[in-house]
Homo-oligomer: A and B are copies of this chain.
Amino acid sequence: MAEIQSLARGLKMMELIALAEGGMGITELAEQIGVDKSTASRLMGTLATYGFAEQDATTRRYRLGPKVVTLSRYLLTRMPLREQAKPFLHRLVDRTGEGAHLAILAQGGALYIDQVESPATLRATTGVGTIAPLHCTALGKALMTFGNLPQPQQMKAFTARTIVDADTLRVHLEQTRRQGYAVDDEEYEYGVRCVAVPVYDYRGKVVGAIGVSGPAGRMSLERVPEIARIVMEVGKDLSDRLSFR
């Protein structure tokens, strides 16, 4: 009785319809959750009346409702870190010409909570709300290394460069720690390189990470150290800013 069944089922349904391309039907939902059609129908009806889901007028299939978008905004706008970091993201874009991102640790991954896009036509953008793995993204590595987190047990390979061996990663992170910044060299997505550093709050605790990412063509390996210098500098400024108050 620790968990309220019908609420849990409703939440599971939200996750299911979120992932399903083009919405989901009641029957399929009922099967996935393991309940009767009628139960699923009523649960979805409740979600719909509160705006968390909506039913397509023609296909009768359910998809997520606008309420989740508004709630997400409430959450994001109430994050002090996000507010404080915004100008520094802009500074990163101005100085590097690449897209800048801010992430925090959530759900065992790096949750992107803000971004400023590159003005270039060809740009690497990871949408706000993405949860990226820790072991193969610059932001994730920064969070993991400087936040002293244990390495993930499972390390999925996304590209041929993804580090999947625990020992290799350990060595890699030791170097990351020494140099003070993390790099993702096409380990998560082909053709995209990232550089990131941790962000500390007033008590020296890692509260997030910021970094830039761009197409490998512009973000050449020779240019990475230069980018890293900028990211470290801006990251330090942001952490300094967070020291006050």
Contact of A128 among B1, B7, B73 (CB under 8 A): B73
Min Cβ gap A207→B in Å is 13
* Chain B residue, CB-CB nearest to A39: B4
A47: B residues at CB distance < 8 A: 7, 11
Instruction: Determine if A46 is an interface residue (Cβ-Cβ < 8 Å).
Output: yes
**Contact flags (1/0) for A114-152 with B, using CB distance below 8 Å?**
001101000000011111000000000000000000000
Known: A4-B46, A64-B74, A119-B119. A11 touches B52 (CB 8 A): yes
* A75 with B69: CB separation less than 8 A: yes
A73 with B10: CB separation less than 8 A:
no
Q: Does A153 contact B (CB under 8 A)?
A: no
**Cross-chain contact A71 with B15 (CB below 8 angstroms):** yes
Q: Which of A69, A106, A117 has the most CB of B within 10 A?
A: A69
Residue pairs across A and B with Cβ atoms less than 8 A apart, 9 shown, are A2-B45, A3-B45, A4-B43, A7-B7, A7-B46, A8-B49, A15-B50, A66-B106, A116-B117
Q: Are B69 and A113 touching (Cβ within 8 A)?
A: yes
Contacts of A159 on B, CB cut-off 8 Å?
Answer: none
A41-79 contacts to B (CB < 8 Å):
42-43, 45-47, 49-52, 63-64, 66-78
* Residues of the B chain whose Cβ atoms lie less than 8 Å from the Cβ of A7: 6-7, 9-10, 43, 46-47
Copies in the complex: 2
Would A72 and B72 be within 8 Å (CB), given that A3-B46, A8-B50, A50-B8 are in contact?
A: yes
Residues of B within 8 A of A4 (CB): 6, 10, 42-43, 46
Whether, in the assembled complex, A21 has its beta carbon less than 8 Å from a beta carbon of chain B, the answer is yes
Give the complex CA separation of A140 and B93 in angstroms.
31
Which B residues are in CB contact (< 8 Å) with A69?
Answer: 72, 75-76, 111, 113, 128-129
Q: A8-B50, A68-B71, A106-B66 are in contact. Are A77 and B116 (CB under 8 A)?
A: no
A77: min CB distance to chain B, Å: 6
> A169 near B: Cβ within 8 Å?
no
Q: Which residues of B contact A131 (CB under 8 A)?
A: 66, 70
A211 to chain B, nearest CB (A): 19
Q: Of B8, B46, B52, B73, which contacts A129 at CB under 8 A?
A: B73
